[in-house]
Amino acid sequence: MRLWTLHPRYLDARGLVALWREALLAQAVLLGQTRGYQHHPQLTRFRQCEHPASQIAHYLTAVCLEADRRGYRFNQTKIGAMQPAAPMPATADQLAYEWRHLLSKLSIRAPDWLADLPPIALPQAHPLFRVVTGGIAEWEIGAATPRAKR
């Protein structure tokens, strides 16, 4: 499961569809509708919110808007109920880590899409997130940065 911090506009078609499906799965987990993926690290930041299911619904809404912008038809009725949502913090280092990860994936999966992306150092974040200073998230699996001992 990958719930990207970066804006869905950077994802190729395959990545956008995968994000939609994975975020729907995350929503089901947060609503207690499935037993799988209960302890998935990508859900940590949503669980830290006052209304996790509402936050993931806002996340899904932005993904759906990007799909609409491209002429895709994602089923909006699958998005759960929403309460007002405060932006969630996401660190600049996390965003940069994900950007490098995406560029690596696109170089193999969708080189033509990659060639059309603008040359930028740090991409825009998903609309649900507010970028703050900081390192790679603790929940990020496979990050090359050493973690502090607990």
Q: What pLDDT, on a 0 to 100 scale, did the predictor assign at position 31? A: 94
When the pLDDT of each residue in the chain is averaged and rounded to a whole number, the result is 91
Extended beta strands in the chain, E state: 88-91, 129-132
- What is the structure's pLDDT at 128? 97
Pick from 13-22, 51-60, 73-82, 134-143: least confident? 134-143
Q: For residues 57 and 82, what is the distance between their CA atoms, to the nearest angstrom?
A: 6
- Stated pTM of the model: 0.90
Find, among 132, 119, 109, 50, the residue nearest to 85 by Cα.
Answer: 50
| H-type alpha helices, 31-70 | 44-47, 52-69
pLDDT at position 85 = 85
CB-based burial label for 4 (10 Å; 0-12, 13-18, 19+):
buried
Return d(Cα 140, Cα 41) in angstroms, integer. 7
Question: Residue 142: its pLDDT value, please?
Answer: 65
Q: Which pLDDT tens digit goes with each residue over 84-106?
A: 888 999 999 999 999 999 999 99
Number of helices and strands in the chain (H, E)? 5, 2
Residue 4 DSSP class = -
